[in-house]
Amino acid sequence: MASNRTFTMIKPDAVENGYAGAILNEIIEAGFSVKALKFTQLSRVQAQSFYGVHKERPFFGDLVEFMISGPIYAAILEKDQAVADFRTLIGATNPKEAKEGTIRNKYAQSIDANAIHGSDSDENAAVEGSFFFSQLEII
Ligand code: CMP
């Protein structure tokens, strides 16, 4: 059965550009409820670990440097079909390919500075949420 939770990060570019409030508002307006929320900045070791699945990819180094370049918001979100619906809301990984009206289409600049992360599966949503939040921090 599909889980109703997903995990997101509002990335350093969106925070730096002042879009975090507008993005959080869009997420809530789209029907997601916030079950955990944290404003933090990843260390290099933490970013390497979070994105460990990509460590052999050519973009890994740039991705890690970008993700530690400034603070982020991390959140666990709830909605029916959360993983799929959230990926629809944020649009394609590359903002140049993101459909009009999606969060990446409106707020992102490049494939690295792509404003927001969304889990790609129920399994990864659970792993990624646990990376940032203890049970005590999740509603
Ligand atoms: P995210 O959804 O956070 O997951 C991995 C990130 O790697 C992705 O968003 C992009 O910001 C970044 N990235 C950079 N280059 C690529 C690429 N060629 N394919 C996929 N992801 C990439």
The top-level CATH class assigned to 5-137 is: alpha beta
Please tell me the pTM assigned to this model.
0.97
| Whether residue 122 has its Cβ less than 6 Å from ligand 1 | no
pLDDT computed for residue 1 by the predictor:
47
- Tens-place pLDDT, residues 110-130: 999 999 999 999 999 999 999
**Cα 113 from Cα 101, distance rounded (Å):** 18
State the closest ligand 1 atom to the C-alpha of 113, by its place in the atom list counted from 1: 11
Full DSSP string of 40-104: E---HHHHHHHTGGGTTSTTHHHHHHHHTSS-EEEEEEE-TTHHHHHHHHH--SSGGGSPTTSHH
| Whether residue 59 has its Cβ less than 6 Å from ligand 1 | yes
* β-bridge pairing 5-10 and 72-78: antiparallel
**Cα 99 from Cα 78, distance rounded (Å):** 23
Q: Which of 26, 117, 132, 133 is an active site residue? A: 117
Residue 54 falls in the annotated catalytic set: no
CA–centroid distance, 103 to ligand 1, in Å, is: 15
Beta-carbon contacts of residue 15 (< 8 Å; ≥ 6 apart): 70, 71, 72, 73
- Tens-place pLDDT, residues 22-52: 999 999 999 999 999 999 999 999 999 999 9
| Whether residue 41 has its Cβ less than 6 Å from ligand 1 | no
| Domain map (residue ranges) of the chain | 5-137
